[in-house]
Structure 1
């Protein structure tokens, strides 16, 4: 009994010492965090996993030193080892995530000309997911190796690894394909986070990219979730692959009598008076002159896709208003030639068709009756013999 009490007291004392050490280190790092964002994130994110890891390690070592054999000692120590491995993996993952968050904060994407920043963010997000998955797999493998039975089966497992890998590859073919497609997208610059794309006829922005799926935020706040393999096997439009600046058009149909130069002047005035225009392209062209109407196409440019949409709507609105206020005769017209129009004549009675000639029949008439009898058979049924 005295040895048990001493062991409990030692464990409690070691636990208290570990807690005190973690608290002191947490306060020191917290004060350093007033000047460093990295230290601030470490103090906030790694406090709990570091506390759990330190306490478990201290308790485990105390039990090994001050206790002798007692019922359940081996099981208790093994449980502490498993918990320590899990807590240490949690701590490592937290530290790596803090480093990645600090890197992301230095490469913000909410700034103009953010192509390199979006590329870096996409790759770092993919690396983060791979890092977490790798840490979990390694920690699970270390935990399993602490069991003597599983450790003894290691040789047989390695011997059958070839067969198991083939079966697993066949079973998870689509999943592995999406994983490799996600890695390909992250490091090939085909698509990045915050890219503006047109997928399946929907216009939106890449909101999230994982190893298995890509979430596209549609312009009306819907979400289109696509497998990553879609972007490596099917064509899609990427409006911001090389730069965020894009071109757009606004079409207006007018009459042939429309004066084009005043409309060009109005387009130039509209673009120069709007903050949506980036100053690159502002052109008005006649693209069609068929069907009794003339189609005018205003080609304008903007710094990004949302600004371009608003600029196109503004240009279309100003051109329509200008035509209505200053060139109302230029509205589309439908012309008709009335000189060739005549009144409909009264309907005459339907002529009676002459009698149908015999040459037009094949199975009726004098010669046709014999041909018809060949297909229709005799008129009277053939009597059945009584002997049958």
Structure 2
């Protein structure tokens, strides 16, 4: 029994860390606090709350008192004999890192000793619970993430205090190498290292100068890319480069600014908080847009090579292929936007801070987006529906709301129709698919055209049938002369309607051929049988004589 008790005590002693133990949910128990630092300095410091600790550390480093600032660090992982030398140096470096990379939101730093979460917001299940460990920031370098944290420690004697954690002290060295002052900053005079409106004086001078340099560089990149596009040997490459001028310029501008921040100058936290996410977003957008525009040029080249200018004269497979190309582009854009959003969130480390908030507010966002973006989202969904179901394809001839036109393009939110007289009609996708329309190319481009003529009852239909067949055989655009018919389809006291039916190869050719055949039929009647022209007979009785007058009626 005694041996078992001894084993438990030995195991507990081995498992107990030398600097802290989870003895309370309010603090970490520790045997001693920085025994290698002078105790007199610590007695004058107020480290009872996270806010007082952070403010005291910043105030001490701003006045250059790094000996006092060292008392805000937990140096438990350093040998006590090294505290006096290593503590102030670590405080100096940590202050430099925080000044350049951390923009402190003081409202989020608790002013309570127990750092209790007081506001119960939405899904915050930890409201009302005390905390003994508080994250300040997470910085990434070399593919690794490093945390800056405050924690509450309780020595055997004395009150509990908030200090920077030993892990934070260990992280100072790699973070200082990545985010500390650059070598060129040593040449900046001390008079320019004073603060003005939250920024150092030298930053107010350097920022406009860097902006001018970067803008000039972007202008030069646009000119160079335009010159290269004029020298490109292939048309698709020329179009791709010309359309990528702006994204490439922005990419070079953002990359140059990143290089300046990494190797030349390291700006303060407020500037980094604005510039860093902006550069990340610009670079991701520029890379994505450059890739998309070059891909557009390649897809356009493919369609021109295998399809050419699209209209209903092209076969079903060609029009189907062109529509699939447009659908592929839309899917690539959606995937690119999704990947870009994930990269931006990951690069800016926003998943941890807003990920749960987005999930918690998904219902509210769904309602807001459903109301505000109903039309846009509906058009996008309808566009994808057209792309996959293909009730209409690019190049199809359609008859929509009294207009005969071709489907020239299908975009996310609208269709562009090209009328026979080269006008463009832009129609929202949801409106287009909600209205009935005639797709003259749904199975094949061929269609039957009819020409109606009103003639006198004495007209010989058989003779007209033979003449019409001869006209079809002589017409260069008519390829199917077998499917041709001539019928008397209506009559009236003044004449009857003769309908001439002919199979046209496609709607555009059919319209031209129909007009040409109508002219030939009218010329045949006028020149060879003028008596067949329909006339309106008027019975006029006057002076006891019956006189019949006639009046030409014309053709329909």
TM-score by length of 1: 0.69
What are the Cα deviations for residues 179-199 of structure 1, in whole angstroms up to 9, with x where unaligned?
222112122221122221111
Aligned length: 329
Alpha-carbon distance, 1:238 to partner = 1.0
C-alpha distance in 2 between matches for 1:321 and 1:68: 87
Whether the 8 Å contact between 2:489 and 2:497 is mirrored in structure 1 is yes
Out of 196-205 and 211-220, give the one that drifted further.
211-220
* Distance in 1 (alpha carbons) for counterparts of 2:535 and 2:345: 82
CA–CA separation in structure 2 for the residues paired with 1:168 and 1:55: 34
1:90 aligns with 2:271: no
Name the CA shift for 1:215/1:57 in 2 (closer, same or farther; >3 Å).
Answer: closer
Cα distance, 1:211–1:47 mapped onto 2, change above 3 Å: closer
Summarize the Cα distance change of 1:266–1:62 in structure 2 as closer, same or farther, 3 Å threshold: same
Distance 1:295 1:169 in 2: 56
How far apart are 1:312 and its partner, in Å? 1.6
C-alpha offsets along residues 306-363 of structure 1, whole Å, 9 cap, x if unaligned? Answer: 2211222222222222222222222224457899xx99xxxxxxxxxxxxxxxxxxxx
Is the counterpart of residue 166 in structure 1 residue 367 in structure 2? yes
Corresponding residue SS for 1:153: helix
1:235 aligns to what SS in structure 2? Answer: coil
Cα offset, 1:224, TM superposition: 3.0
Q: Which runs of 5+ in 2 are unaligned?
A: 1-181, 189-205, 546-556
Say which SS state the counterpart of residue 244 (structure 1) adopts.
Answer: coil
Compute the RMSD of aligned alpha carbons.
4.1
Bigger CA drift: 211-220 or 250-259? 211-220
- Contact persistence 1:107–1:121 (CA under 8 A): no
Change (3 A) 1:217 1:304: same
Q: TM-score w.r.t. structure 2 length?
A: 0.50
Equivalent position to 2:417, from 198, 207, 216: 216
Aligned to 1:369: none
SS of match in other structure, 1:224: strand
- How far residue 86 of structure 1 moved from its aligned partner, in angstroms, is 2.9
C-alpha contact 2:479 2:505 (8 A) present in aligned 1: yes
Match of 1:348 in 2: none
Which position in structure 2 is the counterpart of 1:314?
A: 516
The residue aligned with 2:357 is: 156
* Partner of residue 185, structure 1: 386
List alignment gaps of at least 5 residues for structure 1: 344-388
**Whole-angstrom distance in 1 between the partners of 2:394 and 2:382:** 15
> Which shifted more, 140-149 or 272-281?
140-149
- 2:427 aligned residue: 226
8 A Cα contact 2:420 2:508, kept in partner = no
2:408 maps to 207
In the TM superposition, what is the alpha-carbon distance from 1:63 to its structure 2 partner? 4.5
User: 1:143 and 1:219 mapped to 2: Cα distance?
Assistant: 46
Is 1:279 the equivalent of 2:466?
Answer: no
1:254 Cα deviation from its structure 2 partner: 1.6
Please identify which structure carries the higher strand content. Answer: 2
